[in-house]
């Protein structure tokens, strides 16, 4: 949240400029002779540059001006947009310490889940990527990416050699012994439990309800929900499989 | 320490549910804390093993440390290590707790003007120390426990470099007498090495070689392998115990000669006398100049010795002859507890007996010429140090790896002398009596955090490597020495190795250090050195010692099997595990014979006062049959006044001593050569009128003839056992086919075979189980109400018991008799019954029969009606009366919890499930490799750590599995506990074998049982008794 | 239509007068008694009460539910317990029995309400607290022209008092 | 002749003088009127004690069951003992109203109402102890076979589940029984009450008018309920006894437990009725309705059941000895001479020996003695359960775990609370509802009168 406010102000400012110049134009027209040349829209960041270019593409009449230091491909438009989306508190799911978008990484660039969550196929616990893993790629990125607050935060953590306190979304009680590796072995794909993460900018629990015959419905990650899947796939229903 | 960066990853991070500190019924894992840099060797959720070495006692067993996410969670024996071969004793198991002990010092501290400790930084601490030493280098002394060669070496170099006054190695149980005796008899000072493998006749002259003496695990393994019934030699093997008290070790012998305390030497000589004659007649070598020996032994005929020792001459003669005829006999000298003012002579006598029996060089090895570490100081040297301190000649005293204020006899005056020392520096990881008096406390790493090594014997050297990044702001003693030296200037610093102590350790190993780390050390035991009896031996005066003080009882202070010399008192598991003999925990009790008790008019639980010239203490009286009338026994180890568990602090009464310290009662007396003597004083026992509720976990050793801890006479086995080595044609006497009790489809039916004949009662399994399964300790008050939580207990039965009934409220039931041994130690744990009585009565299906035959217990389903426990005839279920998980694991203890096992919350029943988490792990690997679980792939914590391999776990549906084969090899010994109840247990017990001590050995060495043992019953007879 | 009320002291009188009245065709009558008297009730209507049907139905549903529930639940997720069969009848009989009683009892109450017409908010004009003391009442509804005959009949059987509660 | 016009007839009618209300009504309803200071003191202290016990219980839930005196292996203690005790008490009521009803034992009418009420209150008290006893009360809903998301049911093979069903059924049926039987009396009260009581009784009486239709349905349903309740009474305590008989604990695993417990239950039930009714009839002057004849009949029952119970004790010991099973023998020997010998002898004296004095009519009709005796029997019956449960568990198959249990003060506090809870309800009941079945008393009275007058003709 903290990092988003300045960007908001930036946008407001731009809009303000735009409106003001519009009015100015109108007034000039009113007074007839010697119409003043329209003030062009000036980009103040790469992301904004992308935004303006897009608008320009829509109506060519628009006067825009992109300072050269903002006229570059990185961060890509997609990055800017998903970064924005991951910061939006009004979509489901908590805002994470870093606006990391699974949609961007897993969806757009199709990074394999196991690339970051390594060891999931070997270990009961799904690995949460070490900060190093993130830096593995992001340290190679051009510095212009730093205009994204998320990248900046990441680098701060890295410099402070601190781990990132992610907020856990998919949580099982401590008395449940879940084994990721066995489920991968069995060919269950991540989405079965975690939902279509590759389409989420902000990861959140996708509600999924199974209606038992004769019984109360069971929600995702509740016991009945697991049992249902186990029954359908002929997996073990022995209590000791998950509870000991 | 730059080198440590390689191990930076050993930091405390729980991943997901990795930190299973939350109680089983609340789920409080809300943040995911990933690594900053994830080490290549760590996969969150998977265990990583490191080889290291146990530092609890000088035996120095090899360890495999199981870590999860950089936290050690379980210690197991290193199978490659020649001393323990994968086993580990209770003390070793519990030692993991030192690292997570709530008492630990968080920072270095200095005693301020007010006398209170205040934090300082390492920098100023070392600076201050350096300055203080520089004032008067000669006044600097180092006093500390036995260390590994490289640290010991470093200390010596430090002493040399700063020109310190000197260094004393201090071990309370230092075996001074034995070291001297070895010099006197063989001319080689130091600790002889005892290798009991294959020994077919062991005479333990009060060594208690299964408990604390030299290398207990090794001795247990060797003796019990030697008496394995599978071989003729095994059936022939015998063990005789000589001593005033039926100790745990004695309980495993075949014959007990209850000699007067301190007279073991004479017994040894008498045996030697008989054996010598017999061997000479047979023309066998006698390990020395026959004439010399004959002259030396002549006066000690059994008849003469009978009176002073109180042992029947005939018995002495018989044992002597059996010894002479045995193939590999060996005698073990008296242990520290029996070291009297005549201890050197007594130990020498034992060594002479060994020599006569030709055991020297075969079972007994002379000490190496050049010991890896200096010999410990004897009492004389310590007295000299105290004198120097009193004279103000000691300005700086560095105390490491020891607690002399507690473990030195008070009469020595060490405590007062400390006050006269300019600066006392204590290197300890936690508070104890010594740190209380130290001016500077420089917290040391625990062994799990530090580098080092340890040498069990020539050729065997284990490495100690850190398996966790230091939890607190502590430093290894070695590094502090280096830093101090450097702080004293380059002149001094240059004389010591550069870099850190790790460098010193690494440098001390030739070749690849990584290979060493992988294996856990270098294991090439040197062959035993032989030797002959020297003429000097004749100069020794063999006499029964005279004791100081008055009173009609000799005060015998044996080391505690669990608390050792008292260092174990800080660990709750060792405090809470019932004593293998009396089954008392947390308290200190005075053992006295029933006759003495009647004479004093005391009953079990009455508080009695013990008075000796050294002082007075109070303890709880515990009358028993297994002790001489002229002796009272008070185990060493209790009586600490500092520490959360060691003292009564946890009752909110900080600093009140828990129990009585035997050491405080012992006058400071030397043996012939200035060694420390323990059996020195008489004690006057008086009743105080007080009474205490005993924390007694087994109130009766009378099994009433019920089918628990059976026994069979060897005679009854002979024919059958001859016929078959192992799986023979005869089928096992198996009341029920437990293998059937799993679903038809299942390939497995987990089961166990427990050999009662091999169980020594050492209780290592109990502690291993507690640590593997996150079982909390509950404290004294709860144990008094029998609310101990351990899933596995060792039941101790004496004989088949009687069905006599006592009216009223018997305090406890005791059937021991002087000179008679029929102890059956029978581990009792959940039998995983096929027709389990506990299952049908649970209203909510919290306990049920799993497809693979386990009796599952689902904690989060349990609502605590406790019906299952009522219906369990074995009484192996435990109930969480309080939220032990929250109350009994203060920080940082939760870090040592096993993430694979749910922590149980208040109001929930719990019990053993054969370490189902281990079964599950094995199943996962097997599945991934697309194969069934192999035999021996799963080993529950108890079976894994058992020094004598009494517990064998396996799949009953696999006829070839070790468990089944062992049960079948057991032949008629196999039985099920309480089988008349038709619970179809999956555990087969093998009955204890009673080897008739009076069995004659004929010339060819084979044994023929003389008569049927009075106590022997076959299980079948017994069930209906 | 007028309603006459005769007040009596003894149940046998009520029984007689009721039988008599019905014999004369005055079937629309009602008795009030302070305590249960079989003769009175049968005099008004000799058919046995239908409550028993309810009890029977209740009991049967109970036993069926009991066995069905236990057996189905035990087999819905079969879990081994001490080597006992999943559908073991003896223990389930207890559940079956208890439910028989429970349902039977509850339906009996239902029967009482339906058959007995309870609870009712309506209060007869003829009813008065004296009938919850120790007196009996017989209320007859008849045609105007029959009033005197009924009156006579009522008095004829020793009515302490006859009154016209409704003209 | 043409009949006279109705108004003429009406004119002819001269209403007779009103007679006063029935004496039975007045006597019995008067119990409900006004309350003495003593009553309020009693009630207040009962309520207070209930609160104290409640506080203890909350503390126990917060701190853990460990505050009770449990010792390994004695995992059942005073709570279960008291549970069984109250279930036993609950038996007299239904027995009197159902079985004696079927046997047409008219003398029951004097006491059945209070007995039924006590039944309901006793079951309520007992049921609470199931909750107090379990380790995780907050999870105890697991025991109900309700459709749940876990797809997991309950274990109908467990005696504890049989208990759950038996107790709840018993509570429901006896409550229904009490209410149905009371409807006519509520109507009586309604016709005489004023103010809020009139509203209350009016609502509860369901517009009862005592018409033949009402009575017919009523008598019929009471008959059927009795028919259903009779086997229920016998089953409930058998089921409770199976909690023990189904286990293999020596001293529990006995076939005679069913009848033995039922007899004991009736025994204690009647004792409790006496303990409660003797003071009541004295204080409210109901000697005329609850006569010495009734007391004598009840004491006859006491005598009978006491003999049965005594026989059960004897046969238990005989079987233990004769079976030759060492564990059984030890267990029973320990009962009599072991750590719990006091409880055992209290049990034997109070339940099997003292009641024998009831052979003498002098005793049966001597009210103070009866009262003392009934109290003793209650004590004895509590100890019977204590002996069975505690000694059984403390001396089991594995001698290494033999342990000795002593109740803690918390448990005794809750035990006291249960008595307060019970009497609180009974006291309220006294002032709110007719303590004797008025209608049924009248039935008797009117029959008698009819007899005196020898019928009309």
Query: Residue D155 and residue C81: Cα distance in Å, rounded?
Result: 9
The structural architecture, per CATH, of the domain B711-1020 is 2-Layer Sandwich (3.30)
Residues C14 and C25 in one domain: yes
- Burial letters for B182-207: b for 16+ Cβ neighbours within 10 Å, e otherwise? bbbbbebbbbbbbbbebbbbbbbbbb
Domain membership flag for residue C97: yes
Residues C11 and C62 in one domain: no
How many B-D residue pairs are in contact by the CB < 8 A criterion?
176
- Taking residue C23's Cβ as centre, other Cβ atoms within 10 Å add up to 10
For B176-365, the fitting CATH number among 3.40.630.30, 3.40.228.10, 1.10.10.10, 3.30.930.10 is 3.40.228.10
Which among B865, B883, B981 is the nearest to D134, CB-wise?
B865
- Taking residue B1011's Cβ as centre, other Cβ atoms within 10 Å add up to 11
* Pick from B1010, B189, B1000: nearest CA to B674: B189
The parts of chain D modelled with pLDDT lower than 50 are 1, 12, 14, 16-17, 455-457
**CA-nearest residue of chain B to A131?**
B36
pLDDT in tens, A147-184: 888 899 999 999 988 888 888 888 888 899 999 988 99
| Burial (Cβ within 10 Å: 0-12, 13-18, ≥19) of residue D441 | buried
* Pick from A189, A100, A202: nearest CA to A151: A100
CB A241 within 8 A of CB B917: no
Average pLDDT over residues A113-133: 86
CB of C80 within 8 Å of a chain B CB? The answer is yes
**Residue B863 and residue D334: Cβ atoms within 8 Å?**
no
Domain membership flag for residue C121: no
Query: Residue B40 and residue A180: Cα distance in Å, rounded?
Result: 19
**Residue D75 and residue B869: Cβ atoms within 8 Å?**
yes
Q: For the residues of D171-184, what is the DSSP string, one character each?
A: HHHHHHHHHHHHHH
**CA-nearest residue of chain C to B848?**
C81
Query: Residue B836 and residue B877: Cα distance in Å, rounded?
Result: 13
Domain membership flag for residue C159: yes
The parts of chain B modelled with pLDDT lower than 70 are 1-30, 650-654, 719-737, 808-809, 811, 999-1025
Q: For the residues of B720-751, what is the DSSP string, one character each?
A: HHHH-SSS-SSPP--SS-GGGSS-TT-S--EE
Query: Residue C96 and residue D166: Cα distance in Å, rounded?
Result: 11
CA atoms within 13 A on the CB side of B457: 25
We report the CATH number of the domain holding residue C33 as: 3.30.70
Helices D159-192 and C89-116 meet at what angle, rounded to 10?
Answer: 10
* Residue A243 with chain D: CB contacts under 8 Å: none
CB of A225 within 8 Å of a chain B CB? The answer is no
Which among B23, B38, B917 is the nearest to A130, CB-wise?
B38
CA atoms within 13 A on the CB side of D330: 23
Which among B33, B43, B927 is the nearest to A122, CB-wise?
B43
Domain boundaries, chain B: 109-166+376-523, 176-365, 553-691, 711-1020
CB of B26 within 8 Å of a chain A CB? The answer is yes
Compute the C-alpha angle C1/C4/C8, nearest 5°. Answer: 160
* Pick from B201, B6, B938, B157: nearest CA to B485: B157
Longest dimension (CA), chain C: 83
Query: Residue B556 and residue B463: Cα distance in Å, rounded?
Result: 36
Residue with tokens 């008297």: C37
Hey, is B793 helix, strand or coil? strand
Residues C41 and C56 in one domain: no
* Pick from B448, B465, B461, B458: nearest CA to B501: B465
Residues C64 and C103 in one domain: yes
Give the distance from residue B1022's alpha carbon to the nearest chain D alpha carbon, in angstroms.
12
Query: Residue D358 and residue D369: Cα distance in Å, rounded?
Result: 10
- Taking residue B47's Cβ as centre, other Cβ atoms within 10 Å add up to 18
Which letter does DSSP use for residue B1 in this model?
-
Q: Does domain B553-691 have CATH number 3.40.50.720?
A: no
**CA-nearest residue of chain C to B843?**
C81
**Residue B843 and residue D66: Cβ atoms within 8 Å?**
no
Give the distance from residue C121's alpha carbon to the nearest chain B alpha carbon, in angstroms.
46
pLDDT of residue B902: 92
pLDDT of residue B450: 93
Secondary structure E strands in B597-670: 606-612, 615-624, 631-634, 669-670
* Pick from B212, B1019, B261, B242: nearest CA to B636: B212
CB B675 within 8 A of CB B339: yes
pLDDT in tens, A136-154: 888 888 888 888 888 999 9
* Pick from B864, B888, B778, B870: nearest CA to D65: B864
* Residue A124 with chain B: CB contacts under 8 Å: 45-46, 924
Residues C112 and C57 in one domain: yes
* Pick from A217, A216, A223, A220: nearest CA to A242: A223
Query: Residue D50 and residue D56: Cα distance in Å, rounded?
Result: 10
* Residue A179 with chain B: CB contacts under 8 Å: 924
* Residue B775 with chain A: CB contacts under 8 Å: none
* Pick from D340, D435, D441, D426: nearest CA to D387: D340
Name subunits touching A (3+ CB pairs < 8 A).
Answer: B, D
Residues 6+ apart with CB under 8 A from D402: B699, B700, D73, D394, D395, D396
Query: Residue B718 and residue B752: Cα distance in Å, rounded?
Result: 25
Structure tokens at A176: 């449940």
- Residue C103 domain boundaries: 51-116
**CA-nearest residue of chain C to B868?**
C82
CB of B840 within 8 Å of a chain C CB? The answer is yes
Average pLDDT over residues A120-138: 86
* Residue B840 with chain C: CB contacts under 8 Å: 81-82, 84
Q: What is the pLDDT along chain C (167 residues), one digit of tens a residue?
A: 788 888 888 888 888 888 888 888 888 888 898 888 888 888 888 888 889 999 999 999 999 999 999 999 999 999 999 888 999 999 999 999 999 999 999 999 999 999 988 888 888 888 888 888 888 888 888 888 888 888 888 888 888 888 888 76
Give the distance from residue D150's alpha carbon to the nearest chain A alpha carbon, in angstroms.
4
Which letter does DSSP use for residue A107 in this model?
I
pLDDT of residue A16: 66
Query: Residue B373 and residue B401: Cα distance in Å, rounded?
Result: 15
CB B372 within 8 A of CB B712: no
Which letter does DSSP use for residue D65 in this model?
G
**Residue A128 and residue B29: Cβ atoms within 8 Å?**
no
Residues C71 and C29 in one domain: no
Q: Residue B242 pairs with which residues in a beta bridge?
A: B257
Task: Work out how many domains chain C is built from and give that number.
Answer: 2
CB B967 within 8 A of CB B987: no
The structural architecture, per CATH, of the domain B109-166+376-523 is 3-Layer(aba) Sandwich (3.40)
Query: Residue D190 and residue A218: Cα distance in Å, rounded?
Result: 51
Residues 6+ apart with CB under 8 A from B121: B108
User: How far lies A12's CA from each of B443, B541, B652, in Å?
Assistant: 59, 104, 64
Query: Residue A231 and residue D313: Cα distance in Å, rounded?
Result: 53
* Residue D9 with chain C: CB contacts under 8 Å: 147-148, 151, 164
Residues C77 and C56 in one domain: yes
Indicate if the alpha-carbon torsion angle D320, D326, D330, D331 is positive or negative: negative
Q: Is the peptide bond before D277 cis (omega within 30 degrees of 0)?
A: no
Secondary structure E strands in B882-970: 909-910, 951-955
| Burial (Cβ within 10 Å: 0-12, 13-18, ≥19) of residue A11 | middle
Give the distance from residue A188's alpha carbon to the nearest chain D alpha carbon, in angstroms.
21
Residues 6+ apart with CB under 8 A from B1015: B711, B713, B799, B800, B822, B994
pLDDT of residue A38: 63
The structural architecture, per CATH, of the domain D23-452 is Up-down Bundle (1.20)
**Residue D135 and residue B863: Cβ atoms within 8 Å?**
yes
Which among C52, C69, C145 is the nearest to D220, CB-wise?
C52
* Residue D76 with chain B: CB contacts under 8 Å: 866, 870
Which letter does DSSP use for residue B775 in this model?
P
pLDDT in tens, D318-332: 999 998 889 999 999
Give the distance from residue B711's alpha carbon to the nearest chain D alpha carbon, in angstroms.
17
């Amino acid at each position: 949240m903290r990092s988003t406010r300045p960007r908001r102000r930036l946008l407001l400012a731009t809009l303000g400029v735009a409106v003001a110049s519009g009015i100015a134009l109108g007034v000039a027209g009113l007074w007839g002779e010697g119409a003043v040349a329209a003030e062009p829209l000036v980009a103040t960041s790469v992301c904004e540059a992308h935004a303006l270019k897009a608008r320009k593409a829509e109506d060519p009449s628009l006067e825009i001006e992109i300072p050269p230091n903002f006229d570059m491909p990185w961060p890509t438009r997609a990055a800017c947009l998903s970064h924005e989306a991951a910061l939006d508190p009004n979509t489901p799911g908590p805002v994470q310490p870093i606006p990391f978008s699974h949609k961007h990484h897993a969806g757009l660039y199709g990074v394999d889940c196991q690339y970051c969550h390594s060891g999931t196929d070997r270990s009961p616990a799904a690995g949460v990527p070490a900060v190093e893993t993130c830096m593995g790629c992001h340290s190679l990125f051009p510095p212009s990416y730093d205009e994204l607050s998320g990248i900046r935060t990441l680098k701060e953590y890295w410099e402070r050699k601190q781990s990132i306190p992610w907020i856990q979304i998919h949580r099982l009680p401590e008395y449940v012994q879940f084994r990721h590796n066995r489920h991968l072995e069995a060919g269950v794909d991540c989405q079965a439990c975690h939902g279509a993460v590759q389409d989420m900018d902000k990861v959140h629990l996708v509600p999924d309800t199974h209606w038992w015959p004769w019984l109360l419905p069971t929600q995702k990650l509740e016991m009945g929900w697991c049992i249902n899947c186990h029954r359908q796939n002929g997996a073990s229903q022995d209590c000791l499989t998950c509870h000991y | 320490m730059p080198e440590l960066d390689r191990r930076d990853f050993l930091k405390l991070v729980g991943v997901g549910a990795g930190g299973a500190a939350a109680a089983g019924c609340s789920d409080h894992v809300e943040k995911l804390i990933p690594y900053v840099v994830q080490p290549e060797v760590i996969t969150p959720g998977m265990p990583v093993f490191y080889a290291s070495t146990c530092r609890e006692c000088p035996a120095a067993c090899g360890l495999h440390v199981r870590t999860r996410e950089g936290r050690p969670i379980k210690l197991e024996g290193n199978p490659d290590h020649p001393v323990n071969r994968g086993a580990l004793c209770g003390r070793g198991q519990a030692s993991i707790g030192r690292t997570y002990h709530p008492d630990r010092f968080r920072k270095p501290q200095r005693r301020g003007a007010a006398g209170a400790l205040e934090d300082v930084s390492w920098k100023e601490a070392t600076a201050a120390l350096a300055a203080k030493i520089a004032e008067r280098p000669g006044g600097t002394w180092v006093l500390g426990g036995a260390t590994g060669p490289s640290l010991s070496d470093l200390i010596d170099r430090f002493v040399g470099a700063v020109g310190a006054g000197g260094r004393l190695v201090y071990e309370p149980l230092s075996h001074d007498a034995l070291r001297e005796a070895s010099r006197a008899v063989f001319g080689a000072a130091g600790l002889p090495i005892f290798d009991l493998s294959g020994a077919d006749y062991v005479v333990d002259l009060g060594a208690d070689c299964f408990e604390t003496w030299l290398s207990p695990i090794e001795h247990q393994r060797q003796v019990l392998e030697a008496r394995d019934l599978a071989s003729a030699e095994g059936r022939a093997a015998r063990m005789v115990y000589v001593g005033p008290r039926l100790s745990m070790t004695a309980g495993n012998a075949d014959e007990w000669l209850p000699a007067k305390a301190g007279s073991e030497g004479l017994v040894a000589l008498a045996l030697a006398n008989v054996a010598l004659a017999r061997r000479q007649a047979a023309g066998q070598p006698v390990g020395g100049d026959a004439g010399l020996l004959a002259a030396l032994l002549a006066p000690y005929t059994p008849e003469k010795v009978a009176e002073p020792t109180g042992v029947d001459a005939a018995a002495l003669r018989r044992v002597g002859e059996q010894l002479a005829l045995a193939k590999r006999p060996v005698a073990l000298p008296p242990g520290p507890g029996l070291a009297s003012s005549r201890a050197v002579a007594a130990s020498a006598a034992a060594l002479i007996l060994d020599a006569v029996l030709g055991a020297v060089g075969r079972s007994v090895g002379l000490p190496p010429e050049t010991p890896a570490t200096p010999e410990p100081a004897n009492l004389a040297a310590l007295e000299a140090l105290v004198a120097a301190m009193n004279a103000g000649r000691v300005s700086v005293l560095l105390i490491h790896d020891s607690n002399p204020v507690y473990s030195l006899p008070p009469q020595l005056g060490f405590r007062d002398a400390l006050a006269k020392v300019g600066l006392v520096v204590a290197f300890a990881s936690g508070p104890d009596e010594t740190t209380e008096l130290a001016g500077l406390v420089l917290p040391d790493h625990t062994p799990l955090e530090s580098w080092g090594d340890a040498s069990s014997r020539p050729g065997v050297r284990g490495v100690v490597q850190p398996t966790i990044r230091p939890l607190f702001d502590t430093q290894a003693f070695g590094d502090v020495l280096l830093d101090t030296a450097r702080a004293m200037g380059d002149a001094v610093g240059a004389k010591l190795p550069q870099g850190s102590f790790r460098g010193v350790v690494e440098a001390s190993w030739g070749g690849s250090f990584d290979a060493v780390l992988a294996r856990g050390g270098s294991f090439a035991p040197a062959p035993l050195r032989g030797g002959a009896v020297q003429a000097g031996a004749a100069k020794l005066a063999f006499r029964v010692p005279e004791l100081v003080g008055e009173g009609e009882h000799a005060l015998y202070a044996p080391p505690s099997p669990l608390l050792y010399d008292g260092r174990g008192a800080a660990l709750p598991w060792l405090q809470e595990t019932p004593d293998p003999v009396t089954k008392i925990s947390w308290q200190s009790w005075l053992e006295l014979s029933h006759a003495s008790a009647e004479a004093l008019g005391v009953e079990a639980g009455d508080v009695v006062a013990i008075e000796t010239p050294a002082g007075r203490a109070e303890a709880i009286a515990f009358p028993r049959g297994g002790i001489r009338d002229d002796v009272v026994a008070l185990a060493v180890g209790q009586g600490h006044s500092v520490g959360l568990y060691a003292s009564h602090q946890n009752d909110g009464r900080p600093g009140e001593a828990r129990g009585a310290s035997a050491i405080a009662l012992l006058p400071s007396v030397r043996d012939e050569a200035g060694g420390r003597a323990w059996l020195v004083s008489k004690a006057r026992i008086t009743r105080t009128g007080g009474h205490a509720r005993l924390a007694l976990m087994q109130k009766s050793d009378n099994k009433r003839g019920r089918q628990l801890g059976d026994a069979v006479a060897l005679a009854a086995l002979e024919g059958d056992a001859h016929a078959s080595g192992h799986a023979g044609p005869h089928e096992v006497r198996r009341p029920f086919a437990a293998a059937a009790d799993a679903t038809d489809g299942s390939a497995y039916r987990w089961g166990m075979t427990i050999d009662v004949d091999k169980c020594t009662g050492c209780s290592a399994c109990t502690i291993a189980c507690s640590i593997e399964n996150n079982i909390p300790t509950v404290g004294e008050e709860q144990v008094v109400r029998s609310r101990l939580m351990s899933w596995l207990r060792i039941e101790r039965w004496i004989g088949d018991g009687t069905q006599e009934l006592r009216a009223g409220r018997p305090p406890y039931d005791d059937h021991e008799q002087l000179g008679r041994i029929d102890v059956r130690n029978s581990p009792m744990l959940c039998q995983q019954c096929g027709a389990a009585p506990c299952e049908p009565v649970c209203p909510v299906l919290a306990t049920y029969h799993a497809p693979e035959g386990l009796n599952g217990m689902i904690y989060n389903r349990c609502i605590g009606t406790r019906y299952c426990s009522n219906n369990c005839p074995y009484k192996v279920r435990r109930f969480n009366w309080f939220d032990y998980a929250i109350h009994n694991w203060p920080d940082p203890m939760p870090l040592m919890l096993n993430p694979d096992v749910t922590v149980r919350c208040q109001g929930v029943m719990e019990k053993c499930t054969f370490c189902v988490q281990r079964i599950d792990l094995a199943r996962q690997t097997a599945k991934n490799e697309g194969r069934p679980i192999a035999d021996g792939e799963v080993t529950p914590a108890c079976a894994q750590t058992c020094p004598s391999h009494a517990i064998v776990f396996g799949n009953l549906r696999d006829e070839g599995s070790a468990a089944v084969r062992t049960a079948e090899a057991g032949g008629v010994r196999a039985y099920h506990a309480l089988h008349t109840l038709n619970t179809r247990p999956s555990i087969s017990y093998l009955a204890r074998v009673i080897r008739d001590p009076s069995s004659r050995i004929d010339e060819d060495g084979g044994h023929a049982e003389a008569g049927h043992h009075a106590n022997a019953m076959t299980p079948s007879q017994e069930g209906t008794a | 239509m007028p309603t006459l009320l005769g007040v009596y002291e003894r149940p046998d009188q009520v029984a007689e007068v009721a039988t008599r009245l019905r014999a004369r065709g005055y079937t629309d009558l009602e008795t009030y008694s302070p305590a249960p008297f079989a003769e009175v009730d049968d005099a008004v209507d000799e058919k046995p009460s239908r409550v028993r049907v309810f009890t029977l139905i209740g009991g049967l549903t109970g036993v069926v539910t009991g066995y069905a529930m236990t057996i189905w639940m035990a087999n819905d997720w079969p879990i081994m317990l001490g080597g006992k069969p999943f559908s073991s009848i003896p223990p389930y009989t207890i559940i079956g029995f208890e439910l028989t009683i429970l349902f039977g009892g509850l339906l009996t109450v239902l029967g009482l309400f339906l058959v007995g017409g309870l609870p009712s908010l309506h209060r007869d004009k003829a009813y008065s607290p004296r009938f919850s003391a120790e007196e009996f009442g017989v209320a007859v509804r008849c045609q105007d022209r029959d009033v005197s005959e009924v009156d006579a009949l009522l008095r004829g059987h020793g009515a302490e008092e006859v009154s016209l509660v409704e003209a | 002749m043409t009949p006279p016009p109705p108004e003429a007839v009406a004119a002819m009618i001269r209403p007779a003088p009103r007679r006063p209300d029935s004496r039975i009504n007045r006597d019995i309803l008067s119990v409900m009127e006004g309350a003495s200071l003593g009553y309020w003191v009693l009630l207040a202290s009962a309520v207070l004690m209930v609160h104290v016990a409640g506080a203890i219980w909350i503390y126990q839930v917060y701190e853990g069951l460990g505050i009770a005196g449990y010792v390994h292996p004695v995992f059942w203690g005073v709570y279960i003992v008291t549970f069984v005790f109250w279930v036993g008490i609950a038996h007299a009521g239904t027995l009197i109203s159902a079985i004696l009803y079927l046997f047409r034992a008219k003398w029951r009418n004097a006491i059945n109402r209070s007995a039924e009420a006590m039944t309901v209150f006793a079951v309520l008290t007992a049921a609470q102890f199931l909750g107090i006893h379990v380790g995780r009360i907050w999870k105890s809903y697991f025991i109900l076979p309700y459709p749940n998301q876990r797809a997991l049911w309950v274990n109908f093979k467990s005696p504890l589940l049989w208990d759950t069903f038996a107790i709840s059924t018993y509570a429901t049926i006896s409550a229904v029984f009490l209410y149905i039987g009371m409807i006519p009396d509520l109507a009586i009260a309604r016709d005489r009450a004023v103010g809020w009581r009139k509203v209350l009784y009016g609502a509860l009486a369901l517009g009862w008018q005592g018409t033949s239709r009402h009575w017919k349905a009523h008598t019929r349903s009471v008959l059927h309920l009795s028919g259903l309740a009779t086997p229920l009474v016998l089953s409930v305590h058998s089921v409770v006894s199976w909690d023990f008989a189904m286990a293999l604990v020596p001293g529990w695993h006995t076939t005679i437990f069913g009848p033995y417990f039922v007899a004991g239950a009736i025994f204690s039930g009647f004792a409790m009725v006496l303990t409660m009714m003797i003071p009541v009839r004295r204080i409210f002057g109901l000697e005329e309705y609850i006569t010495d004849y009734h007391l004598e009949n009840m004491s006859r029952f006491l005598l009978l059941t006491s003999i049965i119970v005594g026989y059960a004790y004897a046969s238990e010991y005989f079987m233990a000895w004769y079976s030759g099973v060492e564990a059984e023998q030890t267990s029973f020997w320990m009962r009599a001479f072991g750590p719990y010998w006091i409880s055992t002898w209290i049990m034997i004296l109070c339940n099997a020996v003292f009641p024998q004095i009831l052979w003498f009519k002098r005793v049966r009709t001597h009210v103070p003695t009866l009262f003392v005796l009934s109290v003793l029997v209650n004590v004895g019956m509590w100890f019977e359960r204590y002996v069975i449960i505690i000694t059984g568990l403390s001396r089991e198959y594995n001698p290494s775990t033999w342990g000795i249990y002593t109740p803690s003060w918390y448990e005794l506090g809750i035990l006291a609370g249960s008595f307060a809870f019970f009497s609180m309800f009974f006291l309220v009941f006294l002032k709110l509802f007719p303590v004797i079945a008025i209608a049924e008393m009248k039935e008797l009275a009117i029959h008698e009168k009819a007899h005196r007058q020898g019928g009309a003709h």
